[in-house]
Chain A
């Protein structure tokens, strides 16, 4: 059909200006928020570091600036070897889980879905528990956890496949099956584990913590996260179509099975990497997409980048609370929901259940 393209684009300049004026402050907040949280988290903690020293240390160690060293060696170690890797890891995991949750919620057209839907967390938890009971070192536990996380999702995917398609309901049900299978295997390992030494290790591992994050861990986690996040960002507009249901998405020229495969592949890389370094952190992947949807609307083109920024900030704030609130560290998995649940309830009440 002939469209009067000219007449429409004429009205555009004013329109675009208006849109930019409402979008620009949001983009500024999105960039400023994680940066601010990041810097704050580097100087709070048991060893209080003043901001000026912090900037100097970062300048010397990261940018190799020629500044005279007038601080204690301990400050340098705390900032560079402990707080920096931990903050970066928390941000990566928060961002990854949030974008995965948003992508899954779009794909399943269901706002109640979390990134762990297809069993990645129970698989990864099992992998870690297995590693711990066999006495493996930290690196091997991480690899085993990552591998079993992926394996669980592969099992789910194969179980749900019928007639060369993977209907969403079949995926959900297969996810339930595989999750409960690995959950019972975790229980089995806990049951046979030595109750004085190995059992508490398994329990605390699953509850989640960034306490043991080292600088070297970052690179191992970075790659699966980067691949997954990039993949999801690339297909983010297609997720809009996917959320119309398989049939409509297909009628609008979407290769539905390929898209499902890409989304599952990316979210699995991200969440397996996340669980393998910091245990099963719930809630983030479920709630951050909601909060972002209230803020920027349901269009996944805007939603996915927003979840990265907000998710990274949220988990870092939670981790800062986890390590500073009491003298011993509180497991993250507990805090994410103790703080997140009332906050989300407040938002839900205020919006009266109407999102955006």
Chain B
């Protein structure tokens, strides 16, 4: 593999909150233009890993390199110009307009004491346009739907002009259609040469759109690599500690086999209720 193609390189990384180890022996490489999906159970440290990747948290040991430079040697401003983050929670008390929210993405390109110019505003508008949500520009961010919010936040991140985008569960709490819409939009972003790492709770989302997958469980990576080779029944069992069936069907319109997975949980396996439950 061409070394200059590596955007993110994680070597022997370990992270701990105080004495409580979250994960260790973590090795992962993300290439330019990859859409990598990070899967794992609740609380296995996916979000923690993302927060290490944009320098918000520091590893206990090991190293993360961004385009070949160790992240702890990069100034925060350089990281913000390279890496955009779409967070899962949005917690402001103030009903900013959509355009104001997207403009915030210009942060890394403006000094502490300046405000966005007309040029920044044009960039924000074209980012909204690219994500198909230009019509929302004057709406209150707090009043738009979950799917629209996610697209607006992605637009804000694009406004940052990053080369890497990290997304923490971009499809969480979205309905069926909006999940597909957001995933499709994320897929389109990689066509522009962006490198994307997203976490998800849906293995099917990885099968649907990711080039590469990293599976986390038991405080480390179960496996990582190309989606087709990594997403196996045995790997998913190791990741989620339940039986998983992977099914392949022919999808005539696209002339290809598509794979999807189903958990197989039988009520009998879950033990008996005690008599006093009802």
Interface set of A (CB-CB < 8 Å, partner B): 1-5, 7-9, 12, 106, 109-111, 234-238, 240-241, 243-245, 247-255, 258-259, 262, 293, 297-299, 301, 355-356
Q: What per-residue 1/0 map shows which CB atoms of B51-94 lie under 8 Å from chain A?
A: 10010100000000000000000001100110111010011111
Q: How far is the CA of A321 from the CA of B169 in the complex (A)?
A: 56
Report B54 CB to chain A, min CB distance, Å: 6
Residues of B at the A interface (CB closer than 8 Å) are 51, 54, 56, 76-77, 80-81, 83-85, 87, 90-97, 100, 104-105, 107-110, 112-116, 122-123, 125-127, 129-130, 140, 158, 160-161, 189, 192, 194
Chain A min CB distance to B129 (Å): 6
Residues of B within 8 A of A297 (CB): 95-97
Q: What are 19 A-B contacts with C-beta separation under 8 Å?
A: A3-B126, A4-B129, A8-B125, A8-B129, A109-B91, A109-B92, A109-B94, A110-B93, A240-B104, A247-B87, A251-B87, A252-B160, A253-B80, A255-B76, A297-B95, A297-B97, A298-B94, A355-B95, A356-B95
Q: Which residues of A contact B125 (CB under 8 A)?
A: 8
Distance from B220 Cβ to chain A, minimum over Cβ atoms (Å): 25
CA gap between A258 and B76 in the complex, in Å = 13
Determine which of B91, B96, B105, B115 lies in contact with A298 in the assembled complex, contact meaning CB atoms within 8 Å. B96
Cβ of B56 and Cβ of A250 under 8 Å apart?
Answer: yes
**CB closest residue in chain A, given B194:** A1
Structural contact, A298 and B95, CB atoms closer than 8 A: yes
**How far, in whole Å, are A297 and B95 apart by their CA atoms in the complex?**
8
B122 touches A9 (CB 8 A): yes
In the bound complex, CA of A254 to CA of B80 (Å): 9
- Chain A residue nearest in CB terms to B54: A251
Given contacts A110-B93, A253-B110, A356-B140, 19 further A-B contacts (CB under 8 A): A1-B194, A3-B127, A109-B94, A235-B113, A237-B115, A238-B107, A241-B104, A245-B91, A247-B51, A247-B87, A248-B87, A250-B76, A251-B83, A253-B107, A254-B112, A255-B76, A262-B112, A299-B97, A355-B95
A3, A111, A251, A293: most-surrounded residue (chain B CB, <10 A): A251
User: Using Cβ atoms and an 8 Å threshold, which residues of chain A touch B77?
Assistant: 253, 255
Chain A residues, Cβ within 8 Å of B80: 250-253
Chain B nearest CB from A185 CB (Å) reads 33
Contact indicator B122/A252 (Cβ below 8 Å):
no
B123 lies within 8 A of A5 (CB): yes
Cα separation A12 to B189 with both chains bound (whole Å):
26
Closest-CB distance, A191 to chain B (whole angstroms): 40
Q: Which residue of A lies closest to B87 (CB)?
A: A248
Interface residue from A7, A293, A299 paired with B100 (Cβ < 8 Å): A299
CA distance A249 to B113 in the complex (A): 15
Shortest Cβ distance from residue B262 to the other chain A in the assembled complex, whole angstroms:
36
| Contact status B112-A259, CB under 8 Å | yes
Shortest beta-carbon distance from B137 to chain A in Å: 9
**Chain B residues closer than 8 Å to A299, beta-carbon distance:** 96-97, 100
Shortest distance in angstroms between B193's beta carbon and chain A's nearest beta carbon?
A: 8
The minimal Cβ–Cβ distance linking A9 to chain B, given in whole angstroms, is 5
From A3, A238, A301, give the contact of B112 (CB < 8 A). A238
Closest 8 CB pairs of A and B: A253-B108, A3-B126, A253-B80, A252-B107, A298-B94, A237-B115, A253-B107, A8-B125
Complex contacts, B113 vs chain A, CB 8 Å: 234-235
Chain B residues within an 8 Å CB radius of A249: 107
Interface pair B126/A235, CB less than 8 Å apart: no
- CB contacts (< 8 Å) of B93 on chain A: these are 109-111, 243
A299 to B126, CA, bound (A): 21
List residues of chain A with CB within 8 A of the CB of B127.
1, 3
Residue of A nearest to B84 (CB): A251
What chain A residues lie within 8 Å of B97 (beta carbons)?
297, 299
CA gap between A7 and B160 in the complex, in Å: 20
Measured between beta carbons, the chain B residues less than 8 angstroms from A251 are: 54, 56, 80, 83-85, 87
Tell me the smallest distance from the CB of A278 to a CB of chain B, in Å.
Answer: 30
In angstroms, Cα B122 to Cα A255, docked, is 25
A245-B92, A253-B77 are known contacts. Are A5 and B100 too (CB-CB below 8 A)?
no
> CB < 8 Å: which of A2, A5, A236 contacts B122?
A5
Minimum CB distance partner of A243 in chain B: B92
Looking at the assembled complex, report how far the CB atom of B245 sits from the nearest CB atom of chain A, in whole angstroms: 38
Q: What is the distance, in angstroms, from B184's C-beta to the closest C-beta of chain A? A: 16
Interface contact B91-A235, CB-CB below 8 Å: no
Q: Which residue of A lies closest to B161 (CB)?
A: A1
Question: Are A240 and B100 in contact, with the CB atoms below 8 A?
Answer: yes
Q: Which of B87, B90, B126 has the most CB of A within 10 A?
A: B126
Tell whether, in the assembled complex, residue B115 and residue A301 are in contact, meaning their CB atoms are under 8 Å apart. Answer: yes
Residue of B54, B93, B109, B114 with most partner-chain A CB within 10 A: B93
Which residues of chain A are near B140, meaning CB under 8 Å?
356
Nearest-neighbour CB distance to chain B for A356, whole angstroms, equals 6
Q: Which residues of B contact A245 (CB under 8 A)?
A: 91-92
Q: Which single member of A2, A111, A254 contacts B107 (CB below 8 Å)? A: A254
Given A234-B113, A253-B80, A355-B95, CB of A244 within 8 Å of CB of B104 = yes
Bound CA span A245–B51, Å: 14
Chain A residues closer than 8 Å to B87, beta-carbon distance: 247-248, 251
**Chain B residues closer than 8 Å to A301, beta-carbon distance:** 115
Say how far B85's CB is from chain A's closest CB, in angstroms.
Answer: 4
Q: CB distance A240 to B114 under 8 Å?
A: no
Which chain B residues border A356 with CB–CB below 8 Å? Answer: 95, 140
Bound Cα distance A255, B80 (Å): 11
Output the least CB separation between A332 and chain B (Å): 29
Q: Which of B76, B107, B109, B126 contacts A241 (CB 8 A)?
A: B107
Decide if B115 touches A8 in the complex (CB within 8 Å): no
CB-contact partner of A252 in B108, B116, B130, B192, under 8 A = B108
Chain A positions within 8 Å of B56 at CB level: 247, 250-251
Shortest Cβ distance from residue B118 to the other chain A in the assembled complex, whole angstroms: 8
